A and B are shown apart, each in its own frame.
Chain A
Amino acid sequence: MQRLTHLHESPSQTAGPYVHIGCVPNFAGITDVYEADLGAAMVTDNTKGERITVTGTVFDGTGTPLRDAMMELWQADAQGLYPGRDGADPTFTGWGRTAGDAETGQWSMETVRPGPVPFTDGRMMAPHISIWLVARGINIGLQTRMYFPGDPMLGDDPWLTRIEHQNRVPTLIAQETTPGTFKFDIHLQGPDETIFFDV
């Protein structure tokens, strides 16, 4: 019999407590190597769409905020086009990287409200921001999604409606704390454990 020649993905290892040195060195106080940290800004003055602030805190199983996490956000532009694709807003990176505040653990990012993007079968998914989270004690990056409260597309979103335990879906929906500011807390464990995806 012939053998499949596929390679195996390199195994993950924790980002550890010093991930900021490598990924956001200016934030970590190493200011002389790169001009700016990658992913620090997603928008410019010219970016089209509704400006929003996304913010949140990551909590461990004891309810303590993680103060050493790093997250990356990835989203479509206001028209629902991912950056780099034909017609996408060239002033929007779609990708942000943020570390929580060293004291409170709270992170925040300026962006625009994304447009809807297609599911595998062509139906449209409700606007969402994909989030990838790493930290000390997390052995492999956690993937989740933030959706917008009150969005009329939430009800038949082809991704959300696949979730068996619908009572957990609210863990994926941000809270609008003031107009245009969306708070998305992530709970790694406990009754409010955020849904994480194997995707």
Chain B
Amino acid sequence: MSDGPLFHRNRDRHPKALTPDYKTSVVRSPQKALLSMPTTLSEEAGPVFGHDIIGAHDNDLIVNYAAAGEMAIGQRIIVHGRVLDENGRGVPNALIEVWQANAGGRYRHAKEGYIAPLDPNFGGCGRTITDDQGGYSFRTIKPGAYPWPNGVNDWRPAHIHFSVFGHSFGQRLITQMYFEGDPLIPLCPIVRTITDAEAVSQLVAPLDMNNTVPMDARAYHFDIVLRGRRSTMFENRIEGN
């Protein structure tokens, strides 16, 4: 693995820390400016995860929590795509962890307060590691929209939370995937923490009818881009540098 400075984060495309319409941000947003620093080895290096940590059903949320012979209830979908860096290179061996509500919009969590029922066969977590081209896929059910205590009538659009680990600690990213055509997307105070419409569109996965499994699951395509690494002249770099 080679080192080199990471591209500086373009914070215009990320949410600001203070976004008062998302009320919790008000007391949890740093008020002083972030201190800009060049990346060092501490940010350019990162832990390495092997495919051996992934269990046989870790990427299948329909069965990974279900009782033997049972399956989670809901619209069956495959989510697939690639993890790329800003240079357009696939990022192999990236760890992707996902979590989501069940088909009714309910999380399996002690702090969850929504009246929709738990699905006894759905846990809501899954993980996978990208292949040598940066590709990944997992199977799940389409999560339901859910209300949350922000405004009196705020509903989250259907979404899947993604935690992504590339090769550098400084690439660490948590984001959310939304579904094409969901009318709740433009109403959501959390989506609206991102002010650049083109950046929001980067989080909306299109329906991918070419990759459905007939009579089983529809597919959604979702690519994720991590910070790139500067290329230095006269230095050979392997893929994923």
Chain B, 1-53, CB within 8 A of any chain A CB = 1, 5, 7-11, 13-17, 19, 22, 24-32, 34-43, 45-49, 53
Cα distance, A134 to B176, chains bound together (Å): 14
Also in contact, A85 and B109, with CB within 8 A (given A5-B88, A7-B88, A136-B24): no
Closest to A39 in B: B47
From 68 to 87 in chain B, residues with beta carbon under 8 angstroms from any chain A beta carbon are: 84-87
Across the interface, name the chain A residue whose C-beta is closest to B48. A84
Q: How many of chain A's residues touch chain B, expressed as a range?
A: 35 or more
Known contacts A9-B227, A84-B1; is-contact A117 B15 (Cβ 8 Å): no
- Majority SS of interface residues in chain B? loop
Min Cβ gap A103→B in Å is 12
User: In the bound complex, do residue B99 and residue A18 qualify as a contact, i.e. CB atoms below 8 Å apart?
Assistant: yes
- Kindly list chain B residues whose C-beta atoms are within 8 Å of the C-beta of A189: 27-31
B144 at interface by CB-CB < 8 Å: no
Interface residues in B143-190 (C-beta closer than 8 Å to A): 161, 163, 169-170, 172-176, 190
Complex interface: chain A residues within 8 A of B47 (CB): 74, 83-84, 93-95
Q: Does A156 contact B (CB under 8 A)?
A: no
Contact B42 A74 (CB under 8 A): yes
CA distance A193 to B163 in the complex (A): 26
Write out the residue numbers on chain B whose beta carbons fall within 8 Å of the beta carbon of A6: 7, 86-88, 228
> Is the pair A21, B28 in contact by a Cβ cutoff of 8 Å?
no
Q: State how many residues of chain B have any CB contact under 8 Å with chain A.
A: 85
Within 8 A of B (CB), among A121-138: 125, 128, 130, 132, 134-138
Interface segment among A23-31, A43-51, A176-184: the answer is A23-31
A29:B110 contact, CB within 8 angstroms: yes
Which residues of A pack against B, CB within 8 Å?
Answer: 5-23, 25, 28-30, 32-35, 38, 60-62, 64, 66, 68, 72, 74, 76, 82-85, 93-95, 102, 117-120, 125, 128, 130, 132, 134-143, 145, 159, 162-163, 168, 188-189, 193-199
Can you report 14 A-B residue pairs in the complex whose CB atoms are below 8 A from each other? Answer: A10-B202, A12-B174, A16-B190, A28-B110, A38-B53, A61-B31, A66-B28, A84-B1, A120-B39, A132-B172, A139-B193, A145-B42, A159-B37, A199-B170
Chain B residues with CB under 8 Å of chain A are 1, 5, 7-11, 13-17, 19, 22, 24-32, 34-43, 45-49, 53, 55, 58, 64-65, 84-88, 95, 97-99, 107-112, 123-125, 127, 161, 163, 169-170, 172-176, 190-191, 193-194, 196, 199-200, 202-203, 224-228
